[in-house]
Structure 1
Amino acid sequence: MTQRSEQLVLDYLSEVGLALHGRVTAKERTAYLTSLRARIDERREAAGNDDVDTVRRILRGFGAPEHLVQEELTGQEMDLEDDEMIPPKPRHADRPPPPWRGGPGQGILALLEGPGQTDQRLDGRTSRRPGVVRNSLLLVRHRAPEAIALLMLTLTGLWWDVAFLWVLGAALILLSHVWNAKDKWVGVGLPLVACTVGVVVWDGEARFIDQYIQQALPATGVPALGIASLVCVFYLFPKAARSARAADRAGR
């Protein structure tokens, strides 16, 4: 291992880290850079020669840092190693064919995932974002506690008779290593505030406070809790899914 070769690797990892900054959490960025460093070292060891030209060739094989980050975030793998190898062509040539011509989005899963999953990137390429179904499957596989928490909140929002499940979901949110402090405040605090407001605005009558709570809670408190829980699911799901996709790619 030469000093110049090692410096090339460190510079490359630094550029990748800068490209990831602001797009993923610090924990996810550190995990990905550690995994990337291990993959680079494996190729260096397999090459049997650690001179500057060999290391530069290995790094070119991973692609430019910005494109590597695009692959990390979109899940699309680029076959070409260098942009200069991509022949110029009009943007419409990169558009995927429609499903009836063998393009993406075939089958029942595509219907469940919904439209708008294929995006046009700024460099003319297209990338297919994972849909709700695939994100959910990855979430169950790699982030099971978070998946259970979101399931509990979803059941609370859809079926108010099982609102007690929200307590389990809230506990899992608080124990999560995926969501940050702000996410946890939203995921737990918003339903509690909504439930409290729902109880306060109940327009029924009761002589004593305990009777008031017993009647107001199922009438307006629990429905408010359920609606707020669904809002929290939409808020928490994207970050959990992104973390699950990162864990899936790191595992591969």
Structure 2
Amino acid sequence: MTQRSEQLVLDYLSDVGLALHGRVTAKERTAYLTSLRARIDERRGAADNDDVDTVRRILRGFGSPEHIVREELTGREVDLEDDEMIPPKPRHADRPPPPWRGGPHQGFMSLLEGPSQTDLRMDGRGGRKPGVTRNSLVLARHHPPEAVALAVLVLSGVWWDVAFLWVLGAALIILSQVWNALDKWIGVGFPLAACVVGMTLWTGEAKFIDQYIQQALPATGVPALGLASLVCVLYLFPKAARSARVADRSAGS
């Protein structure tokens, strides 16, 4: 290990960290950089030597910092535009064939399929995000409170008779260490606002406010709360799943 080659790695990790800043939480950024450093060191250990040219070639295999961050956040391969970081192998060589040629589905069915065995990214990992089932298992393993919160929101959205359980889900969202403040405001505030709006749209009649609440809440308020909860699940689940995948890779490395 030479000082120049080590400095190349540190500079690369620093650039990746800057590209991640503001896009993920500090905990997620630290976990991802630790995992990335472990993969780089693994390739350096497998190389014949550890000179500057070898390290530079290894870093080219991962792609530019902005490129690898965009792939991590979107789960999709993107074309490289940085000439200095273009990998030696053409990008299309790693891409799977289209569905009509026997390749994986890219539409709705991809949610259930999970990653393809032949769809590899430059660093050897799957190029597509895991399916809903895989994400759910990883989420339950690494972030069980968030998994319970999402399950409660789904239950409240499909079974209105147990909508009172939504309070438990809201409490878990507020106490979460994964979702940020904006996520919490959306996860809790949007269903409540939908419930209030739903109650105002009730067309029944009631003489007193307490009677109005008692009749409007189950008639239109609870359904609105349930539907808004399902929308929040679609918003919160990808964020929690991404954090769980980062934790899973960090634990694996």
* Alignment TM-score, normalising by the size of structure 1: 0.73
Q: Which moved more, 1:55-64 or 1:213-222?
A: 55-64
1:174 maps to 2:174: yes
Report the CA distance between 1:41 and its aligned residue.
6.4
AA matched with 1:177: Q
What does residue 207 of structure 1 align with? Answer: 207
Report the CA distance between 1:156 and its aligned residue.
0.6
RMSD: 3.9
Structure 2's unaligned 5+ residue stretches are 78-84
Give percent identity, aligned residues only.
77
SS of the equivalent of 2:127 reads: strand
1:86 maps to 2:65: no
Structure 1's unaligned 5+ residue stretches are none
| C-alpha distance in structure 1 between counterparts of 2:229 and 2:236, whole Å | 10
What does residue 150 of structure 1 align with? Answer: 150
What does residue 130 of structure 2 align with? Answer: 130
What does residue 192 of structure 2 align with? Answer: 192
Q: How many residues align?
A: 236
Q: Structure 1 residues 85, 166: closer, same or farther in 2, change over 3 A?
A: same
1:242 maps to 2:234: no
AA matched with 1:113: L
AA matched with 1:185: W
| Correspondent of 1:113 among 111, 114, 117 | 111
| C-alpha distance in structure 1 between counterparts of 2:89 and 2:61, whole Å | 15
SS of the equivalent of 1:8 reads: helix
What does residue 8 of structure 1 align with? Answer: 8
Cα pair 1:72 1:249 within 8 Å, conserved:
no
Report the CA distance between 1:7 and its aligned residue.
3.0
1:160 maps to 2:160: yes
Report the CA distance between 1:209 and its aligned residue.
2.4
Cα pair 1:112 1:133 within 8 Å, conserved:
no
Q: Structure 1 residues 87, 235: closer, same or farther in 2, change over 3 A?
A: closer
* CA-to-aligned-CA distance 1:92-119 (integer Å, 9 cap, x gap): x6652466976435xxxx9472599889
What does residue 141 of structure 1 align with? Answer: 141
Cα pair 1:183 1:236 within 8 Å, conserved:
yes
What does residue 30 of structure 1 align with? Answer: 30
SS of the equivalent of 2:154 reads: helix
* Alignment TM-score, normalising by the size of structure 2: 0.73
Report the CA distance between 1:142 and its aligned residue.
1.8
| C-alpha distance in structure 2 between counterparts of 1:4 and 1:128, whole Å | 34
Report the CA distance between 1:251 and its aligned residue.
1.8
